[in-house]
A and B are shown apart, each in its own frame.
Chain A
Amino acid sequence: MAVPKVCVLTGYGINCDDETRFAFEAAGAEARVVHINDIIENRTMLHDFQIFSFPGGFSYGDDTGSGKALANRILNNLRDEFERFLERDTLMLGICNGFQVMVNLGIVPALEKKIGKPQAALMHNQSSRYICRWVDLEVEEKTPSVFLRGIQRLHVPVAHGEGNFYAPEAVLDALEDRKLITLRYAKPDGGRANGEYPFNPNGSMHDIAAICDASGRRMGMMPHPERNIFFTHRDDWTYLREKYAREGKELPEEGEGLAIFKNAVGYYQ
């Protein structure tokens, strides 16, 4: 199979569906934005897809806790369908609110491989305020995540009010041991953020920005790779343009975030 089909979920306040669809398409996939109510109405629909993406947004306005109400909607209506989807050789990527939903569903880190049982949480930011800013990320060297193959660092924005990763000690240890912490907040000139604001923008334990399950095929991340698809997405692109021009370098067209989506497509090629 050459071109994987991607289901990009929408509805109830999800709002990064269109740019997520575009990112997958720019990476070579065939992506479709699908309303959750259409899946509930047509339950076999998920069979047609190889990749499922929970985009960012404010599902149900973050009421009762981010990602909670949308996770309820899935558990109340589509539990079996999701379990079946996850049993297949599929990929799942949750971004921002999508990560929050996946954590609430227990799809990541899924240490016991049980859907419906969360093992971690994304709490209110330490500042208790929404934050939109570009961050630097370091990729865990031996991560099993298929989304991060060949990537060492990333420069992408975060935009969230509840991205403060928390897990009990035992879960954290397991995440560390099994290399399931796929992305950590880092300083611009290298090295982990070590909890230092604003490099770690939300107070996440162990600078955690993303985690995956043991298969590496399900990943949830707070930062938004779909917002760095073009070079002109970067916060410092006008500076880099000057720099590259004077170094006689050609200007890149793509942004760094695209690599994640290309890896997803590459998994099927």
Chain B
Amino acid sequence: MERAEIRIEVYSTIPDPRGIVLREKLLKLEIDVAAIIVTDNYLINVPFSRNDAVEIAKLLVQPVIQSFTINEPYYPENFDFAIEIGYLPGVTDNVAHTVRESIEDRFKRSLDPDRSVFTSNTYFIAGNITAQDAKRIANELHNPLIQRAKILSKNDYVEMGGMGREIPVVHLDERPSADEVNLDVPGDELLRLGREGIPESDGSRRGPLALDMASLEVIKDYFQNKEKRNPTDVELESIAQTWSEHCKHTIFAAKIDEIDEGIFRAYIREATMRIRREKGEKDFCLSVFADNSGAIEFDENFLISDKVETHNSPSALDPFGGAITGIVGVNRDTIGFGMGARPIANRYGFCFADPCDEKPLYRGKEPDSCLLPPRRIIEGVIHGVNVGGNCSGIPTPQGFVYFDERYKGKPLVFVGTVGLMPRGTGGRKLYEKKAMPGDYIVMVGGRVGKDGIHGATFSSEALSSGSPATAVQIGDPITQKKLSDAIVKEARDKGLYHSITDNGAGGLSCSVAEMAREAGGFEVELERVPLKYPGLAPWQIWVSESQERMTVSVPEEALDEFIALMKKRGVEATVIGRFNSSGRGIVRYHGDVVFNLDLEFLHEGLPKKTLQTKSCLANVEYEPFDEPNDYSETLRDMVGRPNIASFEFISMQYDHEVQANSVIKPLQGKGRVNGSATVIRPVFTSYRGVVLSQGMYPSYSDIDCYWMAACSVDTAVRNAIAAGGTLERLAILDNFCWCDSNNPERLAQLKEAARACYDFAVAYGTPFISGKDSMFNDFRGFDENGNPVMVSIPPTLLISSIGIVMDVRNCQTIDFKMPGDLIYLFGETSNELGGSEYLAYMGEKLSGKKYLGANVPKVDAKENLTIYNRLERAIARGLVASCISVERGGLGVAVAKSSMAGMLGCEIDVLERNLRNDALLFSESQGRVVVSVAPHNRKAFETMMKDVSCSRIGVVRDDNHFIIHIGGKGMVHLGVDELLASYRARFHGF
């Protein structure tokens, strides 16, 4: 490794909370640590004089609380081990980036962007610990896929004179040319090319192209008969990217059974088209399925865009990097929507395994291929969205967390961004864009490295497993914030470009080719692309997924102004080519043509798949059990279930007040209970708002995916209405996260779910405006004994809802407000405990394993529609004093939440309807809402609800007593404080 010229170590001169909190965490893991001191180290690989080095150190130190050493190690008085954590070569180091800028600014000279500054931290540990403990601590402190740890005992640290000055500079063998790939090979060799990738000269492979035989045959035929040559590696990699499941959604597009046009067209898109037709004049969709986000009307001046993505695989390997890249990446779906929308809210949704599960899983047979345990994945993912959202200045109000042991191999990380954009300016519709022939292709934002290429990391310390980290990247929210501000606050409104899109999956290969569909063709000079470090092969530059980049098409007359503006805002912008109308895409590298393809073939050449489904029956049986004899205990336990309990620790670390647009917040009432919908007011001068919510029931998938999807749509809609939304202007988004999607039984479940999406979207008149799928959330690896295991997620469908609130002053929260208010229940409760949280709880309690049950909740959309319409009117008229949608945990949990949120007791009596009491309390029947009504509004409210299913069930008390009767018989009697204690206990200390 190379050594830096200067090493500056910054240490605290007073106790540093970072060390104190870390010590508490290690104590919890039963590592006997007495004290921890953390230093921030800066390695500067530039020959500055001693005096200049001191000047640099002054830039880095807060002199009131910190001091520094230069080129000599810091020695705390008391420590036993020192652990240094730094990055592996090529991993984004955001702090180093800032330090370089500060040094450049101080000395008014420019430094090599990726070779001059590096950072690390040293943790000095004192305590009764062994070398083994030190290793455990180091493992807690770093992720070996992106970071390195150096552990020294005190003796070694002293003897060796500190940690040394090694720096993780990237060294690549120069491989600057494009290779020809011979397709005239036998079938099995062709298949291998698709599975393992293009062979290198040493016989190794570059990593999967993920092209199946049908695709490879089509490609071979195209090159042999149309181009009359072999493809280059640039072309083949590019086609593989463009045709990937990720980009083309081949499963949703495939002919499936009798449905020729595929699931997406038949169910999702058709639902939207039908709703828009039926709404006629009242259609509020502006852009659906066509752009990086979908968009609806906000008012006559503005539109709202929304997009929800997943970032699952990367988050399994590097939870922090995966999640931050996910959230910052989906922000670009907003910035890249139309001519560029401004992000105004983030969404999140996390599906994790049990944080207490420490049983290891291995990617390969080697011990160091161990997956991070769920606890570390949870910490990392939550922190990743924290840094990504908070640093970008985008509020993150809306989210959820869900637990199931089957998310152990792959967690699901849903990230979404809502945007705001003027509908038009000067007769120009801003939600439409078109790159024009003659426009310059300009890449803006970050530089290109090997990030995300085939998931290959390129550290010298190679990964041992054959299944490498797929996409180890760390998002840089500040670089993106600069880019975002320059685009959506300045360049867009100056009209400096014709089109813009995100560089996400497939990098330039996808963004340029995608925009070329608008213009007709393109020519790119690849050597102009700014690189993080030399030595990238042309195919790597073309498909790299390095973050924080967008591609913009700039007309000649605006080019100078655009480039100058970007420069002034600290954003790198480089012309890399021009669009034309030739119908072909041409890429040159130092003058040599390395890519020359018919764009029609690139975009439309992919052969369509044909899929067959096979229905399957779930095993839902469980031993019948008697009703619990203590419903107080049952309810108290239920509110503490991980899928119901407070996740205030997440809500509170995500800034949901920034931009000053918050109206209905994630934590509601004096009791700070997590609501299921939030509302923002994005335009200061308008009372209109945007309501955000979601519905998701993976536990129902095991029983019936049709009703699972129906319940998800119903819940997403109901939650939004309960907070103040309106059915007139409510849209939804779909995120299918499936597993093992080559399996006909899984495909049957998928088809059923999609069919329900159609039925219930149409029934509620809530169009799908955007969606995304992730079809292979399976983990294949080994257990601790080396036995092969496969862990597949339960089929998971997230339905997100987004709607317009006509006047935010009418919005409502879940908390009971005043003693004496009357409590009403909308909707009917049925014996629908199948897949419920209650059965899971009872199963775990009685048998050690969740029960499933067969009676999954069904949805009567017609009945519910009447209720929702009426509820909407009651809320708008101010007749309702609190409102909560009944979700997971059923009626008992919903009433408990309103009570806890208001910190007011209540007394309810629900009628028996030939149901067991547990079904009455915990069945998750859809279409139900609990409201409270002020006594003086009783008459107006009851008159309004005369002909809908709405019954008075109780009254809010002025004390701490939470009481449920069933048919007059006392069932639950708890203190609200007892409920709150259980509700908050689950994630206490997280």
Residues on A lying within 8 angstroms of B by beta carbon are 10-16, 18-19, 22-23, 26, 35, 37-38, 41, 56-58, 60-65, 68-69, 72-73, 76-77, 104, 118-121, 123-133, 157, 159, 161, 164, 166-168, 203, 224, 226-227, 229-230, 232-233, 235-236, 238-239, 241-243, 245-246, 251
Q: From the candidates B62, B652, B878, name the one contacting A68 in the complex (CB within 8 A).
A: B62
On whether the beta carbons of A159 and B658 are closer than 8 Å, the reply is yes
* A203 and chain B: residue at smallest CB distance: B17
**Chain B residues with CB under 8 A of A246:** 818, 934, 936
Distance (whole angstroms) from the CB of B132 to the closest CB of chain A: 26
Q: From the candidates B94, B106, B811, B812, name the one contacting A76 in the complex (CB within 8 A).
A: B106
On whether the beta carbons of A61 and B670 are closer than 8 Å, the reply is no
Q: 14 more A-B contacts (CB under 8 A) besides A61-B94, A238-B813?
A: A12-B482, A16-B393, A16-B660, A19-B684, A22-B684, A58-B478, A68-B59, A73-B105, A121-B65, A128-B20, A128-B21, A131-B653, A157-B657, A239-B902
Q: Is B98 in contact with chain A by the CB < 8 A criterion?
A: yes
Q: Is B14 in contact with chain A by the CB < 8 A criterion?
A: yes
Q: Is B390 in contact with chain A by the CB < 8 A criterion?
A: yes
On whether the beta carbons of B98 and A60 are closer than 8 Å, the reply is yes
Distance (whole angstroms) from the CB of B94 to the closest CB of chain A: 6
- The distance in angstroms between the C-alpha atoms of A130 and B649, with both chains bound, is 10
On whether the beta carbons of B63 and A123 are closer than 8 Å, the reply is no
Q: Is B498 in contact with chain A by the CB < 8 A criterion?
A: no
- The distance in angstroms between the C-alpha atoms of A18 and B394, with both chains bound, is 12
A13, A37, A246: most-surrounded residue (chain B CB, <10 A): A13
> Interface residue tally of chain B, by bracket?
35 or more
On whether the beta carbons of B665 and A15 are closer than 8 Å, the reply is no
* A125 and chain B: residue at smallest CB distance: B17
Q: Is B205 in contact with chain A by the CB < 8 A criterion?
A: no
- The distance in angstroms between the C-alpha atoms of A132 and B397, with both chains bound, is 11
On whether the beta carbons of A224 and B477 are closer than 8 Å, the reply is no
Q: Is B26 in contact with chain A by the CB < 8 A criterion?
A: no
On whether the beta carbons of A37 and B477 are closer than 8 Å, the reply is no
- The distance in angstroms between the C-alpha atoms of A203 and B17, with both chains bound, is 10
Q: Is B575 in contact with chain A by the CB < 8 A criterion?
A: no
Given known pairs A16-B393, A19-B660, A164-B17, the reply for A10 and B485 (CB within 8 Å) is yes
**Chain B residues with CB under 8 A of A229:** 660, 684
- The distance in angstroms between the C-alpha atoms of A73 and B101, with both chains bound, is 9
* B484 and chain A: residue at smallest CB distance: A15
**Chain A residues with CB under 8 A of B668:** 238
On whether the beta carbons of A58 and B62 are closer than 8 Å, the reply is no
Given known pairs A58-B477, A118-B64, A124-B16, the reply for A130 and B653 (CB within 8 Å) is yes
- The distance in angstroms between the C-alpha atoms of A219 and B574, with both chains bound, is 42
Residues on B lying within 8 angstroms of A by beta carbon are 14, 16-18, 20-22, 40, 59-60, 62-66, 94-95, 97-99, 101-102, 105-106, 386, 390-393, 476-478, 481-482, 485, 568-570, 652-660, 662-665, 667-670, 681, 684, 808-809, 811-813, 815, 817-818, 878, 881, 902, 934, 936
On whether the beta carbons of A12 and B570 are closer than 8 Å, the reply is yes
**Chain A residues with CB under 8 A of B656:** 132
- The distance in angstroms between the C-alpha atoms of A168 and B812, with both chains bound, is 47
Majority secondary structure, A binding face: mixed
- The distance in angstroms between the C-alpha atoms of A129 and B485, with both chains bound, is 27
- The distance in angstroms between the C-alpha atoms of A166 and B652, with both chains bound, is 23
**Chain B residues with CB under 8 A of A23:** 660
Given known pairs A133-B652, A232-B681, A238-B817, the reply for A124 and B17 (CB within 8 Å) is yes
* B97 and chain A: residue at smallest CB distance: A63
Q: From the candidates A37, A130, A232, name the one contacting B655 in the complex (CB within 8 A).
A: A130
On whether the beta carbons of B568 and A227 are closer than 8 Å, the reply is no
**Chain A residues with CB under 8 A of B570:** 11-12, 37
**Chain B residues with CB under 8 A of A19:** 658-660, 684
On whether the beta carbons of B98 and A63 are closer than 8 Å, the reply is yes
- The distance in angstroms between the C-alpha atoms of A79 and B21, with both chains bound, is 37
Q: From the candidates A15, A76, A239, A245, name the one contacting B105 in the complex (CB within 8 A).
A: A76
On whether the beta carbons of B17 and A119 are closer than 8 Å, the reply is no
On whether the beta carbons of B478 and A12 are closer than 8 Å, the reply is yes
**Chain B residues with CB under 8 A of A65:** 60, 62, 66
- The distance in angstroms between the C-alpha atoms of A123 and B12, with both chains bound, is 10
* A253 and chain B: residue at smallest CB distance: B809
On whether the beta carbons of B657 and A224 are closer than 8 Å, the reply is yes
On whether the beta carbons of B569 and A35 are closer than 8 Å, the reply is yes
- The distance in angstroms between the C-alpha atoms of A104 and B62, with both chains bound, is 7
* B103 and chain A: residue at smallest CB distance: A72
**Chain B residues with CB under 8 A of A56:** 658
Given known pairs A159-B657, A239-B815, the reply for A61 and B391 (CB within 8 Å) is yes
On whether the beta carbons of A13 and B655 are closer than 8 Å, the reply is no
- The distance in angstroms between the C-alpha atoms of A166 and B378, with both chains bound, is 32
Distance (whole angstroms) from the CB of A95 to the closest CB of chain B: 11
Given known pairs A37-B569, A236-B670, the reply for A128 and B481 (CB within 8 Å) is no
**Chain B residues with CB under 8 A of A166:** 14, 64-65
* A26 and chain B: residue at smallest CB distance: B684
| Contacts A/B (CB < 8 Å), 12 sampled | A13-B391, A19-B659, A60-B102, A72-B59, A104-B62, A123-B17, A168-B64, A203-B17, A227-B660, A238-B811, A238-B812, A239-B670
- The distance in angstroms between the C-alpha atoms of A126 and B105, with both chains bound, is 32
On whether the beta carbons of A235 and B665 are closer than 8 Å, the reply is yes
Q: From the candidates A15, A69, A124, A128, name the one contacting B98 in the complex (CB within 8 A).
A: A69
- The distance in angstroms between the C-alpha atoms of A112 and B391, with both chains bound, is 33
Q: From the candidates B20, B62, B817, B902, name the one contacting A121 in the complex (CB within 8 A).
A: B62
On whether the beta carbons of A63 and B99 are closer than 8 Å, the reply is yes
Distance (whole angstroms) from the CB of B622 to the closest CB of chain A: 41
Given known pairs A68-B62, A76-B106, the reply for A13 and B681 (CB within 8 Å) is no
